[in-house]
Structure 1
């Protein structure tokens, strides 16, 4: 038992003894006890009132009298108040450090509450996003940034990939926006100025396109002369037939690389798909099968599965190029006697999906994340021997991006691979019973 309680109980006991003796002397013991209890309750009521006023405004009101049990209560309150002041100072230092560190960041940083309201931002965000302290604090970020692409990105809730958009205050500035959820519904928005990177990417893309275009004509001329020399039947060239054959083979390979580079440049330069139409997937699958069988020279088993009536809305030229790259890779990297399966179906979530499955050499897990990089090869020697350019999967990636699709790769060394191209259900187009295409819904494209 604490000392304060001991003092309180000792005082009550002494008062009881005194009242007992006094009551026995005057003969009104009960009345004295009731009067003493009322006085005791009144004392504590006064102390509670003083405590309430003191806690509410310690500078204006005096604290309760430090007598008996109330001394322990006041000491505990004082101790809690000191702890609170220390904690407040510590949190203040942490908040100041956070603000100083975020203000020093080169990226715009905005703290959003659970309703999307702007709670705080650093100076870079004010300059890049056009935010003002007195005007914009507490307003929704969707009201402050009216870009429709940003609005869609904010509402979708999938922030696994960053968003590129022009700055609200200057269209010539390109921003890369990331949103990181944290806490209970809160989000941290970061925007980085990537204008310089975008300009360098544009210069690189233009350089590759120009060089590829300039190389096309001389390669065509060299290839034509080599082909004429090989087909001339001149006995004087017979000692050089092997060399000429190798040169012709390499010019063909270089022409393929040039064509793929030009195709990549076209895909990167135009964000919107031109000449979209309903692609007859049944006919396209037949074309892909014929191409696979021609490349295989009857050395592989090629199987095709097509879901009847399911077609795709997009560019038939781009889709054929992407799907052909996947099919030809499957044939090239599957040993003689292997099986290649082409599948076109509607997935469990209603998304149309094209997949290519083989039982070839497979791919090690560490290579899968880098497969869509330009000129990346798992086996350089085998790729060159098979005639690959190292650009096929990069083309696939760009075509799928333009069609809002995604590429998934499942592979195991020695057992084979499966490359799947999934598209949003808004691009699916089903044939009606009269063999007519259903009209596209308003949510498509």
Structure 2
């Protein structure tokens, strides 16, 4: 911190006061000298001749003596005052994190009012510094806490003027680009419910909590908020000077409730459909056995078996998802990717699709049973949507960053952009009628996503309507077994592996 310039401390009023006394002292000294001359040379004894030089010397001597007295007074009175002024100004201008007092005293540490005054100012400055540092630290901590809160927070005074807001409030309600004319809450929030409840808080002085829907950001639909308004009161007289409003988004809660409702509905539907079929055919079998008829029983039992298998597969998939979400540990072992892929394809003997398999990475570390589920679900999903005359391509390779990639690409109808964000949700199906007809449950891709994430990777889909889809699973490069990458890419059996 730069010291104040000398001119900033010049005490004009004090100097005027001293100059007046200096003039009076000079007159008194001159009078004393004249009186001394009069006593030495009494005029009653006749005229006394005093030379001009003697008078001039007399006047200069008197003013010199008065000047010395003036300088002595300045050094003893005005200089300490300048020091105290300097200290008080530094006390007023000093930043919170700087020492505002000199280490050595400017005024003598001995007895005297000036020394006592300086000591008291020093104590005041040190106490002020401690308090300002504490306030600065508390302010920084409070800003960090408010900034870390995921809720939108804003404070206004009793006139509705904005006092402060956190970063979440700025992002959610677009306060980043506020101009100088936007200073009130009703300039950014137009909800009558919020403004009316805020006015009630100012009137009654009690907190209020309520739910409201507001348009925020670029959202096309209103967002539900739980709003809490708390009055701000002064500590000394409890007078109201403002209020803090907290906007807690209910989007996650609403989405969870909606997902729970959809999950219950989908599970109920998936369970009810095969159970209804099983119950119906069992009833037919019972009636036929009572009447002694046996025609078609083998077909009925086959239908019952398929529906029971469907139930078992559904329950197994749900349990697998639940285990993954609850933190189930993987059985990590070296996995032969070519052999595993071939084993999965052998499970689809009745499908008349051509599946091309390309292996560029022979081995990785992973849970073999879970990786088998990934391949099976992706191939099953591709077969379900790809026409019989189209091809499916499976590839194990390395990505640009060295990660292991599993790609299952088809020549199907592709996926519309609106479906991509929800494609890996449980029970979500792009084509509801076709999935139901071909046995799709809408849980396979969700299981794929969780298994890949459990291995430390992620899943993405590249697709355009009418151009097919490419489901790409990325696994970390750390799972690659050293020496497992062949010098040249090779294929299983041949360039095309027919499933027929």
The interval holding the TM-score normalised by the smaller chain is: 0.3 to 0.5
TM-score (structure 1 length as normaliser): 0.46
TM-score (structure 2 length as normaliser): 0.42
Instruction: Determine which structure has more spread, i.e. the larger CA radius of gyration.
Output: 2
